[in-house]
Amino acid sequence: MHAQLLTAAGRPLIAAELPAPRPGPRQVLIRVHACAVCRTDLHVVDGELADPNLPLVLGHEIIGTVVDKGTEADRFTIGDRVGVPWLGWTCGVCEYCRSGRENLCDRARFTGYQIDGGYAELTVADQRYCFAIDPCWGDVEAAPLMCAGLIGYRTLRMAGDAALIGIYGFGAAAHIVAQVARHQGRRLFAFTRPGDVAAQDFARSLGAEWAGGSDQPPPEPLDAALIFAPVGALVPTALAATKKGGTVVSGGIHMSDIPSFPYRILWEERVLRSVANLTRRDAEEFLALAPAAGIRTETVTYPLARANDALADLRNGALQGAAVLIP
């Protein structure tokens, strides 16, 4: 099969011909129809996340069709359409798995990081971590739901019942979260790179009542802030824009260092927290809610062979919505 392979951090992906993977007993073999490109993929390529399983097939926002399965794989039938997210395997016995927090599993394995992912024509996945995909979306449209949607949803959930949400970084995750937040009746402000008028217009088109640069204060204080840009300096910025008792949630897996800041912008019971990974429950909840919320994704497609171009466009902020690779 054709695949795009990461052989070393800091190097471009290379086109490779790999043997078709064989499903293990509880795995399904999936023909990949679409795989979205996540900022986490960039962090892996850049060596900002420790210990990827090199050589590696990236990609953890996979939509495809089951074409074969292992002897004990009974959850899907051949021909079923499934989605495969970042969470690829958990141990089921550690304190986190036993307390409904499998996203923090001590031995968790992640798709497109420790497990080969979807920058390929075929992939295998543990059936327990695959999800049926509502027919209301095409393959390309559905792909960004698998991480930008799922982890974005978990990030929004951590904001509790905040009525006025500020989103810092208006990319793939934010454009989905904005639609969920509006569906839930929340108000929305969007902060983009200073001067990124196109991203600000995009945010307004998705229901933001105000959009501006991250160097601007919001017109009124936020109940909660979600940070999707990998920029540590946004943490004190977001805290300073948030009301007493408000929450700032960082949704990314990696961010540049957070500069020191005065205690007074955290005081008055503001909460600063991160979100890590997802649970299968997050996925089930989000994938049930998203069709009812009428979630639509904005995508830019690339043939698999142009994976490096898709990564470069994401890095340069040249995309509106999500990049999606088509094998």
Instruction: Please give the residue ranges that form the binding site for Zn ion (CB under 5 A).
Output: 38, 40, 90-91, 94, 97, 105, 147
* Listed residue (106, 108, 33) closest to 66, CA to CA: 33
Q: Which is nearer to Zn ion, 103 or 237 (CB)?
A: 103
Q: Which is nearer to Zn ion, 105 or 180 (CB)?
A: 105
Closest contact distance (angstroms) between CB of 163 and Zn ion is 28
Task: State the burial class of residue 270 (Cβ atoms within 10 Å of its Cβ: 0-12, 13-18, 19+).
Answer: buried
Q: Which is nearer to Zn ion, 147 or 241 (CB)?
A: 147
Q: Which is nearer to Zn ion, 179 or 242 (CB)?
A: 179
Rounded-to-integer distance, Cα 327 and Cα 78, Å: 20
Closest contact distance (angstroms) between CB of 290 and Zn ion is 16
Closest contact distance (angstroms) between CB of 321 and Zn ion is 14
Q: Which is nearer to Zn ion, 204 or 280 (CB)?
A: 280
Rounded-to-integer distance, Cα 322 and Cα 251, Å: 16
Rounded-to-integer distance, Cα 202 and Cα 191, Å: 11
**Is 4 in contact with 56 (CB distance < 8 Å)?**
no
Contacts of 309 (CB under 8 A, 6+ apart): 302
Closest contact distance (angstroms) between CB of 266 and Zn ion is 28
Residue 89 has phi, psi (to 5 degrees) of: -170, 140
Closest contact distance (angstroms) between CB of 96 and Zn ion is 5
